[in-house]
Chain A
């Protein structure tokens, strides 16, 4: 029994009745007590329209009592909710654990296995990411930027140009993979979304720095672009993440630390530091991701190593980093084109390359590569850093 008071169809009665009828089994009767004198005609039409059976009306104590027999059609076709705890293409965008109606379309997700997509540290790293956001416009003390030596400023701007183009790759690669990863792996998706947000902010802050003090954006080399394009071209999620984050972003941590240490002004040092802290999170995510994947399938090690070798051979002609980038690092470290300080600066940059190599080896070993494999893989990494 449901008391409909003076509710009318279109004014809420349809909601009340639909929800009551849903709880009945086909064939069961629903009695509707109403004070609306038109209810007989309205409800009769509505019952037929909704494939329920009108069973007539009587007047009882001055009220209208209508009977409707629940029809056989289900409003929503569902199966046992427990069957939807796997990443199935037809569960689409339904949040994991939701009851999904049958007949939903298939989605083109192709990263469907936990081994490939899940990451035990994703939750915690997502939390850390959202509490570590900063604003490239207001959190940087832009007015602390001093008048610059044009030679050094041009080098800073060359490095900013290079960093920004690399960050575009670091934005596009996860952005390419998110639509292919099943929403079942929501923690991974959410973390990668923060990574995209981080990279957008880095692009903003690096470009702002390049434009802030006179020199503006500098050169983008064909070899850098060729190297970055191989990351976007990769058609395997684990391989793409491995190349981008373990090897590329990992190497960038040392690069950013170097820029911070030799920055000619506090603003450049601050943005290098902030970017590095974000990148460190991406690297940590990727290390946990790879370790989890390799732990569940050790043959992946060979697959990832093969991907790295394949990338190296396709970039065989890229023998050095963009020379303007390397020179800029040296000029920064030398504090200008000073013959007295340049030799030490050259050594510092060579030392940076050695540090990058050593740290890559450590990261590779951390996720399960032997020291020999790690050494060889790090050796073959692109001189473009990313």
Chain B
């Protein structure tokens, strides 16, 4: 058996341990030694990847962009979830706020999630600007900076955005479509008070990032093994339900373009590191 492959993951919730123990078992059954290393935040995980302390980083889109910038593109993506492709941001508004399109946001109170959340802060700011809204001047912005370092994984800031719009404390807000779809399906949205008014162009979310110099046969075998996970196999389903996917897919790198543009446009890395 070849050297153990160490995969970094951010412990945004206790269930992360359960998920990765199951993934370890999944790889063990295929004769691949894979183990996880937990980090409390994505910045620390990216640093560990850059110095070779881990082989693979299970990154958010923002963490991936950081790796690309730090390595001047000398990195590679192994796989992502089906749910990471065509991710969108949904703008929601109070039903009584008189907002039916993006232009109506002018002069309104708008809520964003954590400043390091791609879907609920960085991309919405970028998309508003490309649609003629200057976030600094045209709207009154409230940020819910919760669980910073987790890049929005915990969902707490999106919960806060929806609550603010529902209670009328904000006229509108930005959330990820996964959060919106789940909240709708679970009956967590009072549709008499909140409605969706706009869906963003699609972009990509999490992925398994590796350094180009580290990539080799063992990591390709690891990738092929994870792509074989099957949602219609009862043994695999619990892992996939917990990790929120139905299928692992090969990378679709074009989908990261909006976020690269967004971090440039909003000067994200200049401001935060």
Please state if B232 and A45 are interface contacts (CB–CB under 8 Å). no
Please state if A48 and B86 are interface contacts (CB–CB under 8 Å). yes
* Residue A124 interfacial (CB < 8 Å): no
Bound-complex Cα distance A47 to B180 (A): 11
Bound-complex Cα distance A102 to B83 (A): 24
Tell me which of B82, B184, B191, B238 contacts A51 (CB under 8 A). Answer: B82
Q: Which residues of B contact A50 (CB under 8 A)?
A: 181, 185
Q: Which residues of B contact A284 (CB under 8 A)?
A: none
Per-position binary interface string of chain A over residues 36-64, scored 1 when its CB falls under 8 Å from any chain B CB and 0 otherwise: 01101110111111110000000000000
Tell me which of B82, B187, B234 contacts A10 (CB under 8 A). Answer: B187
CB distance from A26 to the nearest CB of B (A): 10
* Residue A323 interfacial (CB < 8 Å): no
Q: Which residues of A contact B185 (CB under 8 A)?
A: 9-10, 14, 46, 49-50
Q: Which residues of A contact B147 (CB under 8 A)?
A: none
Q: In the complex, what residue of chain A is closest to B191 when comparing beta carbons?
A: A8
Bound-complex Cα distance A51 to B198 (A): 21
* Residue A338 interfacial (CB < 8 Å): no
Bound-complex Cα distance A74 to B82 (A): 15
* Residue A103 interfacial (CB < 8 Å): yes
Bound-complex Cα distance A38 to B99 (A): 12
CB distance from B109 to the nearest CB of A (A): 20
* Residue B197 interfacial (CB < 8 Å): yes
Residues A45 and B196 in contact in the complex (CB < 8 Å), given A50-B181, A102-B234: yes
Tell me which of B181, B191, B234 contacts A11 (CB under 8 A). Answer: B191
Q: From residue 239 to 263 of chain B, which have CB atoms closer than 8 A to chain A?
A: 246-247
Bound-complex Cα distance A344 to B86 (A): 96
Q: In the complex, what residue of chain A is closest to B92 when comparing beta carbons?
A: A41
Residues A38 and B195 in contact in the complex (CB < 8 Å), given A9-B184, A48-B83, A73-B231: yes
* Residue A77 interfacial (CB < 8 Å): yes
* Residue A101 interfacial (CB < 8 Å): yes
Q: Which residues of B contact A102 (CB under 8 A)?
A: 234
Please state if B246 and A49 are interface contacts (CB–CB under 8 Å). no
Q: Which residues of A contact B88 (CB under 8 A)?
A: 44-45, 48
Q: How large is the interface on A (under 10, 10 to 19, 20 to 34, 35 or more residues)?
A: 20 to 34
Tell me which of A9, A44, A51, A74 contacts B177 (CB under 8 A). Answer: A44
* Residue B188 interfacial (CB < 8 Å): yes
* Residue A71 interfacial (CB < 8 Å): yes
Q: In the complex, what residue of chain A is closest to B178 when comparing beta carbons?
A: A49
* Residue B130 interfacial (CB < 8 Å): no
* Residue B235 interfacial (CB < 8 Å): yes
Per-position binary interface string of chain B over residues 51-67, scored 1 when its CB falls under 8 Å from any chain A CB and 0 otherwise: 00000000000000000
Q: Which residues of A contact B214 (CB under 8 A)?
A: none
CB distance from B193 to the nearest CB of A (A): 12
Interface of A is mostly: loop
Please state if B191 and A45 are interface contacts (CB–CB under 8 Å). no
Please state if B83 and A74 are interface contacts (CB–CB under 8 Å). no
* Residue B160 interfacial (CB < 8 Å): no
Residues A77 and B237 in contact in the complex (CB < 8 Å), given A45-B196, A48-B178, A51-B82: yes
CB distance from A5 to the nearest CB of B (A): 14
Bound-complex Cα distance A48 to B181 (A): 8
Q: In the complex, what residue of chain A is closest to B240 when comparing beta carbons?
A: A73
Please state if B181 and A46 are interface contacts (CB–CB under 8 Å). yes
CB distance from A305 to the nearest CB of B (A): 45
Please state if B184 and A45 are interface contacts (CB–CB under 8 Å). yes
Q: Which residues of B contact A10 (CB under 8 A)?
A: 183-189, 191
CB distance from B171 to the nearest CB of A (A): 16
B86, B196, B198, B238, most chain A CB atoms within 10 A: B196
Please state if B180 and A45 are interface contacts (CB–CB under 8 Å). yes
Q: Which residues of A contact B231 (CB under 8 A)?
A: 51, 73-74
Tell me which of B178, B196, B235 contacts A41 (CB under 8 A). Answer: B196
Bound-complex Cα distance A47 to B177 (A): 10
Please state if A41 and B197 are interface contacts (CB–CB under 8 Å). yes
Please state if A46 and B184 are interface contacts (CB–CB under 8 Å). yes
Bound-complex Cα distance A193 to B182 (A): 43
Tell me which of A9, A14, A41, A47 contacts B198 (CB under 8 A). Answer: A41
Please state if A73 and B232 are interface contacts (CB–CB under 8 Å). yes
Q: Which residues of A contact B246 (CB under 8 A)?
A: 51, 71-73
Bound-complex Cα distance A42 to B177 (A): 9
Tell me which of B186, B199, B237, B247 contacts A45 (CB under 8 A). Answer: B199
A8, A38, A40, A77, most chain B CB atoms within 10 A: A38
Bound-complex Cα distance A268 to B70 (A): 92
Per-position binary interface string of chain A over residues 88-103, scored 1 when its CB falls under 8 Å from any chain B CB and 0 otherwise: 0000000000000111
* Residue B10 interfacial (CB < 8 Å): no
Q: In the complex, what residue of chain A is closest to B230 when comparing beta carbons?
A: A73
Residues A77 and B232 in contact in the complex (CB < 8 Å), given A46-B181, A48-B86, A49-B182: yes
* Residue B226 interfacial (CB < 8 Å): no
* Residue B46 interfacial (CB < 8 Å): no
Q: Which residues of B contact A51 (CB under 8 A)?
A: 82-83, 231, 246-247
Bound-complex Cα distance A40 to B199 (A): 9
Residues A49 and B181 in contact in the complex (CB < 8 Å), given A40-B199, A41-B90, A42-B196: yes
A40, A41, A44, most chain B CB atoms within 10 A: A41
Q: Which residues of A contact B183 (CB under 8 A)?
A: 10
Q: List 5 A-B contacts (CB under 8 A).
A: A38-B197, A44-B88, A46-B185, A48-B83, A49-B182
Known contacts A8-B191, A51-B83; can you find 11 more A-B pairs with CB under 8 A? Answer: A10-B183, A41-B196, A42-B180, A44-B88, A45-B181, A46-B184, A46-B185, A48-B178, A77-B233, A77-B237, A103-B238
Question: Closest 6 CB pairs between A and B?
Answer: A103-B234, A49-B181, A41-B196, A45-B181, A9-B184, A45-B177
